[in-house]
Amino acid sequence: MTQQSSFEPMFTVFFLVKTSPEWLAFSFDERLKHARGTFQPILEQFTGRVRLNWYDTEFYTATITDVWMLEAQDHHSYQLFCEKLRETPFWDRYFLIKEIFVGERNAWAKNYDVEALAS
């Protein structure tokens, strides 16, 4: 589930989540149906304001199974997005929200008015 839209994000949020036994009990087709029917419409409501990249990590750790990387144009859009998602089974039923980390890309460079490191 990657949503493409062009905007410069104000900040990035990393959700460290773990799939629940309930989610894993669904067939792949059922999981895809739930994701497209529940998660995708919320993403579409926030096109141009919130963007999602979904990373699978279950191959490398037992602690979490996925990382949802959300980029948000502003705090209000992010908060509204979370409110919508919390009203669905994706929040702490199908996926257990283990940690949420918020960061701003290269904030240190902006704060000191210097060019960020890059390769």
pTM for the model: 0.87
Q: Which domains does the chain show, CATH number per domain?
A: 11-111 (3.30.70.1030)
pLDDT at 1 exceeding the cut of 60: no
Question: Residue 99: which of 19, 15, 18 has the closest Cα?
Answer: 15
- For the stretch 24-78, pLDDT in tens is 999 999 999 999 999 999 999 999 999 999 999 999 998 999 999 999 999 999 9
How many Cα atoms are found within 13 Å in the side-chain-facing hemisphere of 80?
Answer: 14
The strand order across the sheet containing 11-19 reads 50-56, 66-72, 11-19, 95-103
What is the rounded distance in angstroms from the CA atom of residue 48 to the CA atom of residue 26? 31
∠ CA 33-36-41, nearest 5°, is: 145
pLDDT at 99 exceeding the cut of 70: yes
